[in-house]
Each structure stands twice: as structure tokens, then as C-alpha cells.
């Protein structure tokens, strides 16, 4: 059946008689698919594979324990030929076709009249994928991809809509009014609440929508989303979904170009980043802007590098939203420490070298670093320093002065997780000099501790430029 013109249909087979012939794993798979749709199944096979035998018991299948006979193909709604024998499968297909019964032949779709598509099951929502029988592997691959982007609880949405259908119909008698109502409701916070198992809140939102006139704008929502350290593959599914559904995206300097490329064309993109010396958009202004956009009924994504709650001022931004009663959600991201460490081959903890790990900011004020040095210099601890480039020599000096040996391994990861990543691995004593010579570009992260020596053995990521090591 390698032609493109297949008719995609879903058919009712609840309580209808279906025949499966075959005793192996393929038959077991088909049997389970039919059983999920409520079919009344008869199975013909002289012997059953253990998996199939279990399904037969569990699914109340009628099992006829013998070889297939032509008279088995009688008044069935569907027939599935799943034996190991090409000849028998061909015979079953011929008999079924002769009686006008739709027939599927496992592994030889061209012999049958229908195929089983690859299915994404979000009961009661079903998505079927077919490649017209040309490549089951491709269909499976595509299914896998769709599985990752369609939330697990998508079916809940269909169930909730079904509960409200009559009420909405009463309020909005015409189809076009109902379309407008549902489009607006689905575009809002309703789905996110359901996907996060908060059905009561979702129902409240739907009730609020019913109170509003079709031309009134419900208040929007702000999503504070962690974009991770750079590699777009490190975004969470949720972050990606929200980015793709947003009306407007406000982003930071640290959000990489390849992540911004995932924002659909037509979505408003606003840069609110800050360079170290150039506070282009003051924090208060960002907080105010978020409130204003949400009040216009927009779905606002505030995209921040790494994780919004780690040295990201995410707390301040949502504080402003909370004060103004603007609904918000926070989506964690992979913080630079996790991303850079993983891509540099430096585990942040390791049973032999470090039992704790501390994250600090190396931001300097008046050329000094205000850090809790006692907490930093603990033995068997990895120190991760964010924003530590400018004050790197001060940091290394202060640590040495407080007893950390100059020979302690230390590394600086430049533009971690991106194709431009470079790792400068040295010791506490010579890291600052080496970094100075290497002319690194922000952002950079410093990792200090014995775990750094594992890099040579554990590095796996191949960026475009080579790492730097002492001469």
C-alpha cells in the first residue's frame, strides 16, 4: 500500500467483533490496540507467546486454539492477519477482501486494506500518524517528537470543554460566537492550569470567561521562564511551549540567538537586557512593563538566562507582579553551573573529591569582593562563581590568602553549552593570568575544586574552538 492516497478515519468498533490471527508479539500489539477501543476480539492461534497469553487473560479475548481455517473469516467488523506465514496472511487478506471486511496485514501493509497508524494517546484526544505504509520507523520517530510537545494531560482539556459545551451553547447561540469564546479561553491560562493538574483553577478561569462579554479582555499572565545557559536543547518542554504560545517575549542579554530563533515570527520580541556597565532598561521599568502588558490581556513570557531564581532577580520581578495582582507562573531553567559543568566534563560533586558545592556571585564593589570566605574555603567543596570574570584575580588571591592551596584545580568556562564554548583549566595560582591572555568573552563561569581535574577524562562536548590549558 505504498501510495499516498489513504483516507484518514477513526471508526467505532466498541462491542463489535474483530478477528486477530497470530500468536506472537505483533498480534499482541494489535490486540491491545483493538481492546483499547472496546472491540469484542476473537483470536485464532495454535500457540501463544507469553506476552500475548497475558493479554488474552487480561482483556477477556475469545481464544480459538488451533491453526487458522478459511471459515474463521466470517461476519467480523475488522480482521487482522498477524501470523509468521506470508502465505497464510495473504490467504486471510484475500478472504476478508472477498467479504468486504477491512483487513490489516502486519508487516505487509500492501496486502491489506487498512493500516494501524502510530498513535499519540491523550484520551479522549487521539492523534494518528501515518506515512502511508512507507516507513513505520519514521512514523514512530514523528510520534516520539509529538509526544514531547503535547502535554500529558492534554485529554483533560477535551474533558473540561465537553463539560462546559452546553453552558457555552446557551450563552452563545451562534457557531462563530462559540468559536471566538473557545479560542479566547484556550489561548489563556486555562490550559496551563489543567496541564499542571489544577482542574479547579481551570474551571474558575472558564467561569470568569463566561462572565465576560466576548469583546472584553481578560487579564493576561506573565511566565517567568528560565532559558538555560545557551544550548536550545536544554530548554524544558514547558518553556518551549510557552515561548511558542506567547504574545510577547521580553528577553535578557544572556538568552542565546538560537533560543530566540524558536520564538514564532509575528510574536513581539523586546530586548530588556543589561550589560555590566550599561543598565539599558532599569529593573523598575522592566517590572512595570510586565504589569502593563499583562493588563492588556497579553500572554507575556519573560525569558531569562539560566534559571530565573538563581542570580537572576526573578524574585523581584514576580514580587512586582504579585503586588499588582497580575497572575504569573515560574518555569525553572538549567542554571549556568549545571550546564557549564556538564558540557565541560566537570561533575560538581564526586564521592572522591567534593561532597558539597556552593554557588556565589563574584560581582565586585569598589574593587572588593564581599563574600562569606569561611563558608567558601571548606574542604571537599566545589566553588562555582557566577559573574566572576572582573574580580577573578581578587577572588583567587583572597582564597589563597585564606588557606586554599595555589595548586587547587580551577577552571573558567566561557560561553558554556554553546558551539563557542571554551574551557580554561588551570590552578588557582595561575587561572587569572591564563584567562587574561586568552581574551575571553562573557558570559563566563568559574569552577574551583578538585573535581576540575576530572575534565581531562570526562569531557565529551565538541565545541567549535579548542580549550585552553597551561603551556
Catalytic pick among 252, 304, 307, 467: 252
Which residue of 42, 289, 335, 382 would you call a contact of ligand SAM, by CB under 6 A? 335
254 in Cβ contact with 306 (< 8 Å): yes
What is the CA 261 to chain-centroid distance, rounded?
17
Minimum CB distance to ligand SAM smaller for 39 or for 310:
310
Window of 79-87, 162-170, 291-299, 437-445 that interacts with ligand SAM by CB under 6 A: 437-445
Confirm or reject binding of residue 341 to ligand SAM (CB under 6 A): no
Which residue of 122, 189, 241, 415 would you call a contact of ligand SAM, by CB under 6 A? 415
Q: Considering CB under 6 A, how many residues would be counted as binding ligand SAM?
A: 22
Q: Which residues pair with 44 in a beta bridge?
A: 21, 64
**443 upstream amide cis, omega within 30 of 0:** yes
User: Scanning residues 67 to 126, which ones bind ligand SAM (CB under 6 A)?
Assistant: none
Please say if 274 is a catalytic residue. yes
451 in Cβ contact with 349 (< 8 Å): yes
81 in Cβ contact with 106 (< 8 Å): yes
77 in Cβ contact with 16 (< 8 Å): yes
Q: Least distance to ligand SAM from the beta carbon of 191, Å?
A: 27
Which residue of 61, 321, 340, 451 would you call a contact of ligand SAM, by CB under 6 A? 340
Q: Least distance to ligand SAM from the beta carbon of 286, Å?
A: 13
Confirm or reject binding of residue 227 to ligand SAM (CB under 6 A): no
Minimum CB distance to ligand SAM smaller for 413 or for 468:
413
Separation between Cα atoms, residue 449 and residue 408, nearest integer Å: 6
Window of 27-35, 139-147, 289-297, 443-451 that interacts with ligand SAM by CB under 6 A: 443-451
Site string for ligand SAM, 366-395 (x = CB under 6 A): --------------------xx--------
Confirm or reject binding of residue 230 to ligand SAM (CB under 6 A): yes
**124 upstream amide cis, omega within 30 of 0:** yes
**Cell numbers given for 68:** 487458522
Confirm or reject binding of residue 343 to ligand SAM (CB under 6 A): no
Half-sphere exposure of 360 (CA within 13 A, CB side): 24
Catalytic pick among 247, 274, 430, 453: 274
Residue with cell 531569562: 304
Confirm or reject binding of residue 56 to ligand SAM (CB under 6 A): no
CB-based contacts of 220: which residues, under 8 Å, 6+ apart? 188, 247, 293, 294, 295, 296, 297, 298, 299, 300, 326
Minimum CB distance to ligand SAM smaller for 23 or for 306:
306
Alpha helices in 308-378 (DSSP H): 314-323, 336-344, 373-376
Minimum CB distance to ligand SAM smaller for 225 or for 248:
225
Which residue of 312, 327, 345, 391 would you call a contact of ligand SAM, by CB under 6 A? 312
Please say if 252 is a catalytic residue. yes
Phi, psi of 226 (to 5 degrees): -80, 125
Which residue of 254, 272, 354, 440 would you call a contact of ligand SAM, by CB under 6 A? 254
For every residue of 167-230, DSSP letters joined together read HHHHH--SHHHHHHHHHHHHHTTHHHHHHTT-HHHHHHHHHHHHHS-TTSPPP-EEEEEE-BSS
Which residue of 151, 443, 449, 463 would you call a contact of ligand SAM, by CB under 6 A? 443
Confirm or reject binding of residue 416 to ligand SAM (CB under 6 A): yes
For every residue of 132-165, DSSP letters joined together read TTS-HHHHHHHHHHHHHHS-TTHHHHHHHHHHHH
User: Scanning residues 269 to 308, which ones bind ligand SAM (CB under 6 A)?
Assistant: 304-307
Positions marked active-site: 252, 274
Q: Report the interface residues with ligand SAM, using CB under 6 A.
A: 229-230, 254, 304-307, 310-312, 335-336, 340, 386-387, 413, 415-417, 443-445
Amino acid at each position: 500500500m505504498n501510495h499516498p492516497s489513504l483516507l484518514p478515519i477513526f471508526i467505532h468498533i466498541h462491542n463489535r467483533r474483530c478477528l486477530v490471527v497470530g500468536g506472537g508479539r505483533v498480534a499482541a500489539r494489535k490486540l491491545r490496540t483493538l481492546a483499547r477501543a472496546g472491540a469484542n476480539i476473537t483470536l485464532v492461534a495454535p500457540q501463544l507467546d507469553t506476552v500475548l497469553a497475558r493479554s488474552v487473560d487480561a482483556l477477556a479475548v475469545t481464544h480459538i486454539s488451533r491453526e487458522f481455517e478459511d471459515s474463521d473469516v466470517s461476519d467480523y467488523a475488522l480482521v487482522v492477519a498477524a501470523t509468521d506465514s506470508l502465505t497464510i496472511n495473504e490467504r486471510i487478506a484475500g478472504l476478508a477482501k472477498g467479504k468486504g471486511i477491512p483487513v490489516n496485514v502486519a508487516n505487509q501493509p500492501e496486502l491489506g486494506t487498512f493500516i494501524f497508524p502510530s498513535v499519540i494517546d491523550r484520551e479522549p484526544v487521539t492523534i494518528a500518524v501515518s506515512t502511508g505504509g512507507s516507513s513505520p520507523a519514521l512514523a514512530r520517530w514523528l510520534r516520539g517528537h509529538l509526544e514531547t510537545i503535547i502535554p500529558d494531560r492534554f485529554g483533560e482539556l477535551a474533558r473540561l470543554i465537553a463539560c462546559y459545551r452546553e453552558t457555552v451553547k446557551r450563552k452563545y447561540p451562534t457557531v462563530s460566537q462559540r468559536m471566538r469564546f473557545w479560542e479566547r479561553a484556550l489561548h489563556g491560562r486555562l490550559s496551563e492550569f489543567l496541564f499542571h493538574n489544577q482542574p479547579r483553577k481551570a474551571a474558575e478561569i472558564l467561569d470568569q470567561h463566561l462572565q465576560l462579554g466576548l469583546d472584553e479582555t481578560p487579564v493576561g499572565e506573565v511566565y517567568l521562564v528560565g532559558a538555560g545557559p545557551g544550548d536550545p536543547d536544554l530548554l524544558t518542554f514547558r518553556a518551549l511551549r510557552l515561548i511558542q504560545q506567547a504574545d510577547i517575549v521580553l528577553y535578557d542579554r544572556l538568552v542565546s540567538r538560537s533560543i530566540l530563533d524558536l520564538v514564532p515570527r509575528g510574536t513581539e520580541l523586546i530586548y530588556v537586557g543589561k550589560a555590566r556597565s550599561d543598565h539599558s532598561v532599569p529593573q523598575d521599568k522592566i517590572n512595570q512593563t510586565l504589569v502593563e502588558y499583562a493588563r492588556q490581556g497579553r500572554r507575556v513570557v519573560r525569558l531569562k538566562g539560566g534559571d530565573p531564581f538563581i542570580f537572576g532577580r526573578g524574585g523581584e520581578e514576580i514580587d512586582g507582579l504579585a503586588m499588582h495582582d497580575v497572575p504569573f507562573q515560574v518555569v525553572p531553567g538549567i542554571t549556568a553551573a549545571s550546564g557549564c559543568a556538564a558540557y565541560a566534563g566537570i561533575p560538581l560533586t564526586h564521592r572522591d573529591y567534593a561532597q558539597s558545592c556552593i554557588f556565589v556571585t563574584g560581582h565586585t564593589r569598589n574593587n572588593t569582593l564581599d563574600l562569606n570566605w569561611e563558608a567558601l574555603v571548606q574542604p571537599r567543596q566545589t566553588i562555582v562563581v557566577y559573574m566572576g570574570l572582573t574580580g577573578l584575580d581578587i577572588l583567587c588571591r583572597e582564597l589563597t590568602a585564606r588557606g586554599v592551596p595555589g595548586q587547587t584545580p580551577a577552571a573558567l568556562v566561557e560561553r558554556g553549552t554553546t558551539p563557542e564554548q571554551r574551557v580554561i583549566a588551570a590552578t588557582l595560582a595561575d587561572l587569572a593570568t591564563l584567562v587574561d591572555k586568552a581574551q575571553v568573552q562573557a558570559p563566563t563561569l568559574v569552577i574551583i575544586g578538585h573535581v576540575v581535574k576530572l575534565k581531562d577524562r570526562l569531557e565529551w562536548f565538541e565545541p567549535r574552538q579548542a580549550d585552553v590549558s597551561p603551556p
